[in-house]
């Protein structure tokens, strides 16, 4: 049963209530390895489901365009303060609706249409909003793309410097969606300084690891930092922008009135709750365990003959290259999902296959670590993955049901925040 319970929803709209329960059960029964997902706490769920959703609050603390901000002003101020304290940032804006709008606000704050912007190429692990061609950021600005090195699978910092000197981007993005290795913020900062660019660190994937001390922080190196709040940070779907005091005004103006209207106050509250949770000592232990699990899972996959981009991982994320396994990423991901292992197909650097059926699988340990799974179980996870992928490569569906049942049985011992097993 969903927790908090949804009795009014069951009474008013059983169809939607049924879907909420079904999704909760699905999340309970599956090994969730999507690197950008997690399980939030019931406290975060309660804040996100509160009457704060009823309130309009365009503007910022003390400067709103609607009356009745007696509660919202101190609430948003508290969320901002918690973000500043957790990350050590001089300025924080907690209003962006999600990661993509947060990144768009960076363009509005620092670039004019047509200006050059540099980011990691999407198929190499970057994000759409870092100037990819189908994104507004690639259409309205002039993208300059850097890559990872073919031999190491790691960002080519020499190329970053050469390109930045040649193209003089106004903004350099670092960070991405499929980067299994530590991001060298000081090296990016040096290049940005040398070339007069604003350094924007997009820490959407690793924000929780940074908060928990399991990945170096961009604070002190990047001029502006964007992050989603719903990945390793384990908050509601939302985003934040942090910056130096120097850029505070430009960032705030870009978010509102530049791009958005009223902030989602229920999300602001849930972000504040998640930030408080992330400041507890237990969260640092969580972040360390996320990485420890990924490292052991990567080693177990390597032992089973899987090629990993960059050879392994430093963080929560593993990128598997299936080229030698005789199966594409999409059919492998679909078979794994049927077997109770939820992940996504993903391009690998220099992929020779198409984006809709690339050669890779992306795996993350943030959600299963929240469930309480530890290193000792990672070889078993790798064994299940290997069994299903090998069978799928031969068109054999017979293992799928058995593996799904074994996973359901294992996960019954690992409680899920947001769900209570009913007797
Ligand atoms: C997830 C992600 C985003 C976008 O977040 P949405 O909330 O899906 O818009 C932006 N940048 C990076 C690096 C991400 O991983």
Please tell me the predicted confidence (pLDDT) of residue 421.
Answer: 83
pTM of the model: 0.98
Query: Over the chain (423 residues), what is each successive 10-residue block's mean pLDDT?
Result: 96 98 97 98 98 98 97 98 98 98 98 98 96 96 97 96 98 98 98 98 98 98 98 98 98 98 98 98 98 98 98 98 96 98 97 92 98 98 98 94 97 96 75
Q: Give 135-156 pLDDT, tens digit per residue.
A: 999 999 999 999 999 999 999 9
Q: Could you read off the pLDDT of 48-66 as tens digits, one per residue? A: 999 999 999 999 999 999 9
Pocket of ligand 1 contains residue 295 by CB under 6 Å: no
Q: Is 204 in the pocket of ligand 1 (CB under 6 A)?
A: yes
For ligand 1, atom 15, which residue shows the shortest CA distance? Answer: 177
Rounded Cα distance, 222 and 137, in Å: 20
Distance CA 242, CA 299 (A): 35
Report the pLDDT value the prediction gives residue 355, as an integer from 0 to 100: 83
243 CA from centroid of ligand 1 (Å):
18
Host H or E run for residue 44: helix 42-48
Work out the number of other CB atoms within 10 angstroms of the CB of residue 139. 12
What are the tens digits of pLDDT across the range 188-230? 999 999 999 999 999 999 999 999 999 999 999 999 999 999 9
Dump pLDDT digits (tens) for 228-249.
999 999 999 999 999 999 999 9
Expressed in angstroms and rounded, the spacing between residue 137 Cα and the centre of ligand 1 is 14
Verify whether ligand 1 is closer than 6 Å to residue 36 (CB atom): yes
Burial class (CB in 10 A: 0-12, 13-18, 19+), 70: exposed
Q: Which two tokens stand for residue 187?
A: 């090296």
Closest residue to atom 3 of ligand 1, CA basis: 99
Find out whether 415 and 371 touch, Cβ atoms under 8 Å. Answer: yes
Active site amino acids: 56, 58, 202, 228, 231, 237
Choose which residue among 97, 100, 122, 346 to substitute to test ligand 1 binding: the one with the highest number of ligand atoms within 8 A of its C-beta: 100
Report strand pairing: 116-120 vs 171-174.
parallel
Q: Is 127 in the pocket of ligand 1 (CB under 6 A)?
A: yes
204 contacts 175 by C-beta, under 8 angstroms: yes
Distance CA 292, CA 73 (A): 40
Q: Which atom of ligand 1 lies nearest, measured to the CA of 126? A: 13
Give the Å distance between the CA of 99 and the centre of ligand 1. Answer: 4
3-class DSSP assignment, residue 321? strand
Q: How far is the CA of 156 from the centre of ligand 1 (A)?
A: 22
Q: Is the CB of 129 under 6 A from ligand 1?
A: yes
pLDDT of residue 235: 98
Place of tokens 């879907």: 19
Beta strands, E only, 94-252: 116-120, 142-146, 171-174, 198-202, 224-228, 239-243
Instruction: List beta partners, residue 227.
Output: 240
C-alpha pair distances (Å), 294 with each of 15, 130, 330, 363: 38, 26, 22, 9
**Ligand 1 touching residue 238 (CB < 6 A):** no
Q: Cα-Cα-Cα-Cα dihedral of 47, 52, 57, 58, to 10°?
A: 60
Q: Which atom of ligand 1 is least distant from the CA of 203?
A: 13
- Given a contact cutoff of 8 angstroms between Cβ atoms, the answer to whether 266 and 48 are in contact is yes
Q: Are 101 and 260 in contact (CB under 8 A)?
A: yes
- What are the pLDDT digits (tens) for 371-383? 999 999 999 999 9
Burial of residue 412 (number of CB atoms within 10 Å: 0-12, 13-18, 19+): exposed
Tell me if 98 CB under 6 Å of ligand 1.
yes
Q: Which residues are annotated as a binding site for (6S)-5,6,7,8-tetrahydrofolate?
A: 122, 126-128, 246
Domains identified in the chain and CATH numbers: 47-278 (3.40.640.10), 289-411 (3.90.1150.10)
Instruction: Output the CA torsion 180→186→189→194 (10° steps).
Output: -120
107 CA → ligand 1 middle, Å = 15
Residue nearest to atom 10 of ligand 1 (CA): 99
Is the CB of residue 135 below 6 angstroms from any atom belonging to ligand 1? no
Strand partners, 119: 145
Ligand 1 atom closest to the Cα of residue 176 is: 13
């Amino acid at each position: 049963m969903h927790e908090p319970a949804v009795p009014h929803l069951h009474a008013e709209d059983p169809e939607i209530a049924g879907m909420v329960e079904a999704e909760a059960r699905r999340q309970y029964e599956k090994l969730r390895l999507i690197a950008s997902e997690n399980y939030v706490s019931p406290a975060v769920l309660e804040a996100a489901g509160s009457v704060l959703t009823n309130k309009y609050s365009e503007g910022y603390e003390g400067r709103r365009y609607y009356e009745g901000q007696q509660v919202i002003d101190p609430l948003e101020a508290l969320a901002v303060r918690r973000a500043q304290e957790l990350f050590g940032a001089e300025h924080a804006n907690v209003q962006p609706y999600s990661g993509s709008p947060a990144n768009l606000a960076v363009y509005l704050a620092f670039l004019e249409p047509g200006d050059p912007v540099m980011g990691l190429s999407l198929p190499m692990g970057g994000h759409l909003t870092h100037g990819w061609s189908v994104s507004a950021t690639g259409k309205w600005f002039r993208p300059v793309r850097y890559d990872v090195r073919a031999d190491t699978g790691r960002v080519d910092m020499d190329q970053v410097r050469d390109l930045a000197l040649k193209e003089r981007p106004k903004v350099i993005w670092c960070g991405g969606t499929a980067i299994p290795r530590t991001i060298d913020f000081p090296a990016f900062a040096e290049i940005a300084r040398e070339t007069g660019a604003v350094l924007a660190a997009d820490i959407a994937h690793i924000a929780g690891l940074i908060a928990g001390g399991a990945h170096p922080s961009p604070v002190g190196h990047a001029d502006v930092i964007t992050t989603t709040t719903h990945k390793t940070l384990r908050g509601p779907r939302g985003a934040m922008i942090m910056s130096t005091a120097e850029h505070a005004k430009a960032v705030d103006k870009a978010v509102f009135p530049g791009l958005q209207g009223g902030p989602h106050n229920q999300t602001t509250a849930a972000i504040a709750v998640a930030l408080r949770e992330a400041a507890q000592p237990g969260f640092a232990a969580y972040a360390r365990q996320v990485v420890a699990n990924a490292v052991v899972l990567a080693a177990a996959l390597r032992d089973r003959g899987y090629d990993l981009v960059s050879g392994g991982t430093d963080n929560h994320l593993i990128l598997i290259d299936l080229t030698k396994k005789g199966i594409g990423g999409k059919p492998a991901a679909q078979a794994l999902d049927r077997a109770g292992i939820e992940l996504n197909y993903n391009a690998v650097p220099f992929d020779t296959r198409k984006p809709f059926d690339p050669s890779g699988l992306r795996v993350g340990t943030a959600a299963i670590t929240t469930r309480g799974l530890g290193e000792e179980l990672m070889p078993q996870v790798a064994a299940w993955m290997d069994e299903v992928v090998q069978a799928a490569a031969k068109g054999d569906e017979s293992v799928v049901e058995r593996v799904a049942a074994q996973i359901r049985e294992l996960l019954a011992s690992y409680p899920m925040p947001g769900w209570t097993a009913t007797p």
